[in-house]
Amino acid sequence: MAPPTPPLKQQQHQPPYEDASSPYFLPHSDNPGVQLVTQQLNGSNYSNWHRSMTTALIAKNKLAFVDGSLEHPHHTDLLFTQWMRCNSMVVSWLRNSVIPEISSSIMYIDDAYHIWNDLRERFSQGNLARICQLKQQLFNLKQGAEDVSTYFTNLRILWDEYKDFQPSRWCTCDHCRCHSARRWNDFQMQECSMQFLIGLNSTYSQIRSQIISTTPFPSLSKIFSLVLQEERQRSIEFGLPQSSLTNTEVQGSLINATGIARGRGGRGKFLCTHCGKTSHTVDKCFEIIGYPPGYGRGRGKPQGFSTDTMSRSANQLSSGDTMITQAQGVVPPFSTADMTRMISFLQSQMQAHSSSTNTQISPASIKDGKVFGDASAPASMSPPFSGSFSGDCDWEG
């Protein structure tokens, strides 16, 4: 028969300041100059600061020094010295986590628990005013010129702070079986999702209607993913960066692509890509084909279809204006070569008739496109636009 196994040696009891699981333990990395949170308390951000400091103190295993669970020991206690050391460390962390003005007001408070309560009593009393401010900001929050990701981030910042002021659950029974906390959290997420959809631009009305009619209602993360995919799809179709796909700019890109602009009373339905004016297209632009006789009488407009206008139009066509017009979505009825040959032919005809006109017809005998006096003048001398012109034209944008 085997001899009995000797009992294990009992481990020696470690003092609390050497036990890593004890709040009295201070690792070598801890020092009074550490700033536990990046955002210091300035008075108006107490809710966010409180949550950040609570998380940091839990990670340092020092929350017991500020919530009152570890009371001040008597000076005869063996742990009194170690408690004073840890308490002074937490006091230094609290002073480093507030702005200098607030730090001066707590400089003579030596207990971390008293500092924690003093800051709470001073800066947590304006909860109702902050809740009202958050509700107003959420009501006025719209996407506007921001992309979907930036708009969603701004919404979550406001909504999470607003949710923190509300109770986590309504059930008061000791052992809850109605799952009120879970249902309350689901309701809060649904409210945040609806707020996100309401603030989107009108260009997302179709995807918004599809999401609202979905059963069961998707989660907030799923809704954000669907809207973000819609934004990326539009950036591929329009060839624009995601940040520029606002309502106004999308409408502008559609207008430039089709060459159609909005007008009043049926006027201004067309947009000329050459001069930028409305009520006509590029194939009827007077700056290219020339002005009719008597156009703009009394308004400083050109009075005839001059050779300089024809030459300038030919140069513009040869320099590639027609290519630009085609690239913008407005295709003229003639090709560049056809229009160039037509303009060259008209220029030669006008130069031939201009030399004969100087000898047969005086300048005073031409009025409103009609020849007076000498009947032997050739009939082909009439300007390219026959008849009289009243001066009222729908061409002006």
What is the mean pLDDT, run by run of 10 residues, along the chain of 397 residues?
Answer: 49 71 88 90 86 92 90 86 92 94 92 92 77 89 92 91 73 68 83 92 92 90 92 77 48 44 47 74 77 61 47 49 44 65 79 61 48 46 48 49
Tell me the two tokens of residue 44: 């108006």
SS3 358: helix
CA pair distance 13, 27, nearest whole angstrom? 19
- pTM for the whole thing? 0.47
Q: Give me the pLDDT at residue 5, please.
A: 54
Give the residue from 187, 209, 192, 191 showing the smallest Cα distance to 154.
Answer: 192
Nearest-5° Cα angle at 117, 116 to 118: 95
Q: Which pLDDT score is estimated for 296?
A: 59
Q: Quick one: CA dihedral 302, 304, 307, 310, positive or negative? A: positive
The DSSP string of 7-50 is PPPPPPPPPGGG-TTSTT---TT--TT----SS-B-SS-HHHHH
Distance, CA of 197 to CA of 207 (rounded, Å): 9
Residue 88's beta-bridge partner residues? none
Predicted pLDDT of residue 280: 77
Residue type, 262: R
- How much is the pLDDT for 185? 81
Contact (CB, 8 A) for 376 and 354: no
> Two tokens at 349?
């005809």
Supply 258's token pair: 């089709």
Q: What is the dihedral of CA 288, 292, 296, 300, to 10 degrees?
A: 60
Tokens of 289: 């084909």
Output the DSSP codes for 39-100.
Answer: S-B-SS-HHHHHHHHHHHHHHTT-GGGTSSSSPPPPTTSTTHHHHHHHHHHHHHHHHHTB-H
Contacts of 361 (CB under 8 A, 6+ apart): 371, 373, 374, 377, 381
d(CA 336, CA 333): 10
